Amino acid sequence: MTTVASTADGRAGVLRRRVRLIVAATITYNVIEAVIAIAAGTAASSAALVGFGLDSTVEVISAAAIAWQFAARDHETRERTALRIVAFSFFALAAYVTFDATRTFFGAAEPEHSTVGIVLAAVSLLVMPLLSWLERRTGRQLGSASVIADSKQTLICSYLSAVLLAGLVLNSTLDWWWADPIAALAIAGFAVREGIEAWRGDACAAGAGALLTDPDAELDPDCADGCTDGCCAAH
């Protein structure tokens, strides 16, 4: 039993360090992304681009919550609080983006072409899926619902990159100004859904934690990709 416990502790330590590295990379990238997106979006009066930049800000808040959680050795005690921070960040993003997109529909501003926004969306479409995959894999192995929730927050950024890219390209090439606020509302919809899942995600940790004591255990495929119904370990 002592050997098993020692192995589990060592494995958990490696995974915690990996989480901190992934979180640091995510924060660094998203700070840069947020500054560029919000500046370019403001210049082009693009609700979708500003919303994308705000999503990057939420990503930073979410990643910072995970960093705070894993700054403590007994990180499980901070799990629920970290999840709540992630969820509230999503809801705040959805509220603002919906408001801004509605203003655009009613003629408050007409979005203009943004080459910077198109390039940024394309780059994010390459970077974010990789970061999300690394974090989710580590979160499953560690049995942390908050890490899994944060990885889904990162993954949503790649979905939003595709939505943003489509909206900006349609606006630039076909002058479909309405594609921009529609893309923004799609971003808001994704944010609400992911906020709800993050709020419910505390169930994931229970079963997934079995991976620490049994490195050969695998998560049940039926629940490995989502948190709403809980996650479980299959032996």
Question: Is it the case that residue 119 has pLDDT exceeding 60?
Answer: yes
- To the nearest whole number, what is the mean pLDDT of the chain? 76
Question: Is it the case that residue 116 has pLDDT exceeding 90?
Answer: yes
pTM of the predicted structure, to 2 decimals: 0.67
Question: Looking at the 3D structure of the chain, how many domains does it have?
Answer: 1
> Rounded to an integer, what distance in angstroms lies between the CA atom of residue 213 and that of residue 11?
9
Strand extents, DSSP E, 90-194: none
Q: Which residue, 120, 95, 98, is CA-closest to 44?
A: 120
50 band by pLDDT with thresholds 50, 70 and 90? confident
Q: Which domain holds residue 64?
A: 2-234
Q: Taking residues 118-133, what's their average pLDDT?
A: 91
- The domain spanning residue 34 has which CATH number? 1.20.1510
> Rounded to an integer, what distance in angstroms lies between the CA atom of residue 125 and that of residue 159?
8
9 band by pLDDT with thresholds 50, 70 and 90? low
